[in-house]
Structure 1
Amino acid sequence: MSRLELRHVRKAFDELDVLADISLSVGAGEFVSILGPSGAGKSTLFQLLTGAEHGGGEMLFDGAPLDDHGRHFAFMPQRDALMPWRRIIDNTTLGLEVQGTRRKVARARVAPLFAEFGLAGFERHFPAQLSGGMRQRAALLRTVVQERDMLLLDEPFGALDALTRAAMQRWLEQMWRHHRWTALLITHDVREAVFLSDRIYVLSARPARVLREIRVPLPRPRDPTGAAARQAGALEAEILDILLNPQPSKGHDHD
């Protein structure tokens, strides 16, 4: 059974239709991406999931109507959103503290993860002293330490330069294989979606509809070179063709 299931979700702001008909699912331990052009309403979908906005259709979690949004999701926004006046150790505990965890207890939970996230030795630094990639790792640590059912990742690497973004994608794929988080990623980067995902939902331009569901057959760990790169390139070309020549479809498994 899917952990998260959306059925014919729709959203409009006054007279502006943003989401027309979105149906998708995310299974336990699965990495799923929502891919579409800028302005297609991808971030609006996350606002519905987190309860920041309300729309039509059904949203189910573990088969039950989604009502207690905060209990299920840990959300990582496009920007790292680190507070510049707080040291990294205190930024990474912020989500736990907001939930009511005492600072000392929160620090004890976060501290062992700094080495795994490549942040050992930077606990007492301020965000301005870290590189963009390190700040994003700190933001992801702040997200996953909350131990929610699912990660919602809203274009987390979009503000990074191309080389740092590629390195962060490889790092995230390695971390996901180790932890097997249930993750839903929003992106407009076709290569990123193919590299990270088990399945991809391709959305149309606004008002957004699901154009195609694509299963990514690439073996893990993902290898950006050799035969795997050629297979990934072919899949990227197929997705670009779907985006440039949109024709709604019920679904497609790429063999």
Structure 2
Amino acid sequence: MRRLELRHVRKAFDGLDVLADISLSVGAGEFVSILGPSGAGKSTLFQLLTGAEHGEGEMFFDGAPLDDHGRHFAFMPQRDALMPWRRILDNTTLGLEVQGVKRKAARARVASLFAEFGLAGFERHFPAQLSGGMRQRAALLRTVVQERDMLLLDEPFGALDALTRAAMQRWLEQMWRHHRWTALLITHDVREAVFLSDRIYVLSAHPARVVREIRVPLPRPRDPAGAAAQQAGALEAEILDILLNPQPFKGHDHD
């Protein structure tokens, strides 16, 4: 079942096209990535979904026109955006408090998730006392506890060092398999997109167009050093070639 569907979405700023023609879909329980060069307008697409910006074209959620943006999406930006003066427990409840949930009830809701997110024992710490990976796990906890229909992940590991980023990708893939969140990821990291995704939409440089939709046939759980590593490497090489030599749209590769 399609949860999110975009049809011919366009966006321009001051007469300059940023998104030229974007059509894509995300199914229930699916992990989909939008992959493209830096500055291609990927984050602008999330601004349209969350209602921060308005463009042209059609957007649907569960078959109905997308109008109540805040009801459907929980958004995680690239930076963890944790408030340095709030302890981790109170940072993770922030999204719930914005929704009107009382602090005591919000704390009770997040408390059971701290162990699962590898944060047990750090509830009373401040963000500066945590590693980059732990801060990102806290940011994701803050996002998923809102229990929205879909997660919007805007390069959530882009600010981390390479080793921490790889560890966080493996952790997120494990968490996704357990919870089967419906997730849409923005990234310019080809390896990350292949490792995490069921499908990938490859965008051109701006104005952004979908130049390829690629299904990722790799088995789960994903293992970067496992038997499918050669297949993953070949897929990464193919996607890099698409990014460097974009062609008109082709859909449903690797069925």
Give the whole-Å Cα distance in 1 for the aligned partners of 2:190 and 2:248: 18
CA-to-aligned-CA distance 1:175-216 (integer Å, 9 cap, x gap)? 000000000000000000000000000000000000000000
Give the whole-Å Cα distance in 2 for the aligned partners of 1:165 and 1:209: 28
After TM superposition, give the deviation of residue 15 of structure 1 in Å.
1.9
Give the whole-Å Cα distance in 2 for the aligned partners of 1:221 and 1:227: 11
Give the whole-Å Cα distance in 2 for the aligned partners of 1:21 and 1:180: 29
Alignment coverage as a number of residue pairs: 255
Identity %: 95
Provide the alpha-carbon RMSD of the alignment: 0.6
Give the whole-Å Cα distance in 2 for the aligned partners of 1:121 and 1:114: 8
Within 5 Å, which residues of 2 pair with 1:109-148? 109-148=109-148
Secondary structure of 1:21's partner? strand
Secondary structure of 1:186's partner? strand
CA-to-aligned-CA distance 1:59-109 (integer Å, 9 cap, x gap)? 000000000000000000010000000000000000000000000000000
TM score, norm. by length of structure 1: 0.99
Secondary structure of 2:39's partner? coil
Q: Unpaired runs of 5+ in structure 1?
A: none
After TM superposition, give the deviation of residue 223 of structure 1 in Å.
1.0
After TM superposition, give the deviation of residue 147 of structure 1 in Å.
0.1
After TM superposition, give the deviation of residue 34 of structure 1 in Å.
0.1
CA-to-aligned-CA distance 1:147-169 (integer Å, 9 cap, x gap)? 00000000000000000000000
Within 5 Å, which residues of 2 pair with 1:17-28? 17-28=17-28
TM score, norm. by length of structure 2: 0.99
After TM superposition, give the deviation of residue 131 of structure 1 in Å.
0.1
After TM superposition, give the deviation of residue 226 of structure 1 in Å.
3.4
Secondary structure of 1:227's partner? coil
Give the whole-Å Cα distance in 2 for the aligned partners of 1:144 and 1:84: 20
After TM superposition, give the deviation of residue 227 of structure 1 in Å.
2.5
After TM superposition, give the deviation of residue 249 of structure 1 in Å.
1.8
1:217 corresponds to which residue? 217
